[in-house]
């Protein structure tokens, strides 16, 4: 009886294994760690894996080879703080007053992410994750807003939109205070900011243990202006304004991007040395398209514009336990998709009180389901811009001019098909109007930023034009 019972137990167990999907057998018991790396104003082709031939980005190229490279990833906005609202809430930023700003400028305790609004870090924290933000916040200032009020356990970085890489000030002059904080306490630390952020991320990872998952947001300010590489401390001492309109060049920009690439390399080495890499989801992307010295080819447009160059961004994902290396994926994604997608990977979900506008794309990223068609909407106050992408079709309006593009055949957005397909144009316009009724209105007090001929010669307007 004992022998027969044992035999039946073994046969039963083998039968059960036969019907269990291999992926389920291989799935680790522990929930995945998440490392979300966000660049600032990085252009589509600023990485060599996306086509840059002027310089190499070996760390991020290797990350792409070890995981997944997305070809149709979008930012929620063509400017930084607005995209960050979409990223942290999983919703269109136009649902929140602070998200209307393009971008939030200066210290703002009036506009920001409300502390009671569910966020990606707060939801992961509730699910047992240790959460940390290292780097740029740009979602409202103290005392009313901040990372520690929106779900992060720890924070080291800058509250505002930009700081000098060496002085860590959001402006120029002896009376401008540094924007560098440990939690909610101002601190001062010498060093190139990109390097400091990588160092802090390494220290955070050194403290992690396998029994508790972590969510680390590593948000660089690179390669945002001012145009300073790691050896350019003397440039910082001579700036007239932080915007640095009178400086910068391609070699300096290359050094800024490569410094970020190297910093990320140190972080990824620490993950591997700690034995955490296999079950850590690593995401790398940008908050919007590139600016003055970026490469956005083959797209036209740049930051502050709803042309593809202003909103299409590089995006890499590595999860060795689940994602096969070397994949390229054409799934259309947008910043706000990360909240439902990463929550699903962590085995939890969004708050019912604040349903996301983004969708869970984990099945597509893992290669288990086919790509799904998307309809995405944007608007941007400067030049009265609006855009819709439905499938491969895109409706774009800038300063009263309307365009219809087939992005599959014309990603550079040069052939205006509005006259050839008036019904398609009308349908997309109607969809945009209907969507817009559900968003907060763009009132006169909403700030916006754009690029004109006074700042960039290639944005000139002929004399007598409007």
Sheet-wide strand order for 327-334: 185-186, 181-182, 154-158, 130-136, 214-219, 33-39, 280-286, 312-318, 68-74, 327-334
What tokens appear for 186 in the block?
Answer: 């101002």
Can 80 be counted among the known catalytic residues? yes
Task: Please tell me the predicted confidence (pLDDT) of residue 210.
Answer: 86
CA angle 146, 150, 151 (to 5 degrees): 125
Q: Which of 94, 98, 182, 171 is nearest to 135 (CA)?
A: 182
Region label for 250, one of left (φ > 0), alpha (ψ between -120 and 50) or beta (otherwise) = alpha
What tokens appear for 320 in the block?
Answer: 């060795």
Task: Please tell me the predicted confidence (pLDDT) of residue 109.
Answer: 76
Contact 155, 204 (CB under 8 A): no
How far is residue 462 CA from its own chain's centroid? Answer: 35
Between the CA of residue 68 and those of 28, 233, 295, what are the distances in Å? 20, 36, 21
Task: Please tell me the predicted confidence (pLDDT) of residue 100.
Answer: 98
Can 138 be counted among the known catalytic residues? yes
Task: Please tell me the predicted confidence (pLDDT) of residue 461.
Answer: 84
| Number of Cβ within a 10 Å radius of residue 386 | 20
Task: Please tell me the predicted confidence (pLDDT) of residue 454.
Answer: 87
**Four-point Cα dihedral 196, 202, 207, 210, nearest 10:** 150
What tokens appear for 324 in the block?
Answer: 């096969």
- Return the bridge partners of 182, or none: 156, 185
Q: What CA–CA distance (Å, rounded) separates 309 from 44?
A: 7
Terminal alpha carbon distance of the chain:
94
For 264-276, what is each residue's pLDDT tens digit?
Answer: 999 999 999 999 9
Task: Please tell me the predicted confidence (pLDDT) of residue 28.
Answer: 45
Q: For 228, list phi and psi in degrees, rounded to 5.
A: -135, 120
pTM of the model: 0.93
| Number of Cβ within a 10 Å radius of residue 463 | 5
Helices 250-273 and 193-206 meet at what angle, rounded to 10? 10
| Number of Cβ within a 10 Å radius of residue 321 | 15
Task: Please tell me the predicted confidence (pLDDT) of residue 463.
Answer: 74
Task: Please tell me the predicted confidence (pLDDT) of residue 465.
Answer: 66
Contact 345, 318 (CB under 8 A): no
In the numeric block, the tokens 């300073």 are attached to: 228
For 133-190, what is each residue's pLDDT tens digit?
Answer: 999 999 999 999 999 999 999 999 999 999 999 999 999 999 999 999 999 999 999 9
Write down the catalytic residue from 138, 219, 224, 244: 138
Q: What CA–CA distance (Å, rounded) separates 160 from 85?
A: 14
In the numeric block, the tokens 């006259």 are attached to: 419
Contact 428, 388 (CB under 8 A): yes
Beta-strand runs (E) in 326-410: 327-334, 375-380, 385-390, 393-398, 401-406
Peptide bond into 441 cis (omega under 30): no
Write down the catalytic residue from 80, 219, 224, 329: 80
In this structure, the strands spanning 214-219 and 33-39 are parallel
- Return the bridge partners of 214, or none: 130
Q: What CA–CA distance (Å, rounded) separates 198 from 94?
A: 32
Low-confidence ranges of the chain (pLDDT < 50): 1-28
Task: Please tell me the predicted confidence (pLDDT) of residue 378.
Answer: 98
Q: What CA–CA distance (Å, rounded) separates 141 from 135?
A: 14
| Number of Cβ within a 10 Å radius of residue 426 | 13
78 Cβ neighbours under 8 A, 6+ residues apart: 102, 288, 289, 303, 304, 305, 306, 310, 311, 378, 380, 385
């Amino acid at each position: 009886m004992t022998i027969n019972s044992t035999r039946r137990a073994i046969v039963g167990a083998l039968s059960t294994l036969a019907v269990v999907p291999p992926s389920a057998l291989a799935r680790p018991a522990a929930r995945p760690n998440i490392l979300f790396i966000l660049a600032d104003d990085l252009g589509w082709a600023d990485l060599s894996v996306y086509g840059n031939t002027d310089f190499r980005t070996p760390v991020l190229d290797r990350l792409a080879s070890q995981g997944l490279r997305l070809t149709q990833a979008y930012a929620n906005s063509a400017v930084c703080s607005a995209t960050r609202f979409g990223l942290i809430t999983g919703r269109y930023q136009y649902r929140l007053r602070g998200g209307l700003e393009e971008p939030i400028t200066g210290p703002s305790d009036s506009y920001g992410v409300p502390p009671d609004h569910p966020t990606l870090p707060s939801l992961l924290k509730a699910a047992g994750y240790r959460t940390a933000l290292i780097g740029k916040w740009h979602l409202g200032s103290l005392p009313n807003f901040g990372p520690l009020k929106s779900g992060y356990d720890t924070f080291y970085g800058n509250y505002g939109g930009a700081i000098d890489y060496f002085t860590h000030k959001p402006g120029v002059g002896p009376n401008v205070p540094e924007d560098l904080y440990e939690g909610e306490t101002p601190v001062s630390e010498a060093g190139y900011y990109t390097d400091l952020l990588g160092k802090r991320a390494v220290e955070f990872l050194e403290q992690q243990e396998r029994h508790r998952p972590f969510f680390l947001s590593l948000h660089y300010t690179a390669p945002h202006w001012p145009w300073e590489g790691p050896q350019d401390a003397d440039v910082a001492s001579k700036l007239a304004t932080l915007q640095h309109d009178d400086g910068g060049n391609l070699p300096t920009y290359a050094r800024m991007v490569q410094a970020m690439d190297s910093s990320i390399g140190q972080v990824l080495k620490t993950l591997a040395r700690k034995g955490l890499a296999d079950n850590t989801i690593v995401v790398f992307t940008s908050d919007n398209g590139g600016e003055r010295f970026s490469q956005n080819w083959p797209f036209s447009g740049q930051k502050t514009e709803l042309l593809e160059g202003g909103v299409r961004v590089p995006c890499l994902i590595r999860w060795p336990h689940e994602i096969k290396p070397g994949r390229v994926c054409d799934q259309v994604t947008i910043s706000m998709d990360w909240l439902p997608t990463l929550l699903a990977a962590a085995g939890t979900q969004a708050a019912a009180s604040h349903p996301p506008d983004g969708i869970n794309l984990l099945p597509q990223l893992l290669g288990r389901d086919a790509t799904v068609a998307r309809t995405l909407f944007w608007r941007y106050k400067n030049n009265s811009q609006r855009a819709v992408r439905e499938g491969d079709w895109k409706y774009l309006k800038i300063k009263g001019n309307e365009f219809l593009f087939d992005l599959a055949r014309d990603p550079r957005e040069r052939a205006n098909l509005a006259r050839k397909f008036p019904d398609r144009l009308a349908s997309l316009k109607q969809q945009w109007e209907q969507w817009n009724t559900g968003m907060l209105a763009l009132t006169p007090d909403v700030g916006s930023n754009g690029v004109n001929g006074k700042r960039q010669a290639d944005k000139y307007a002929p004399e007598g034009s409007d």
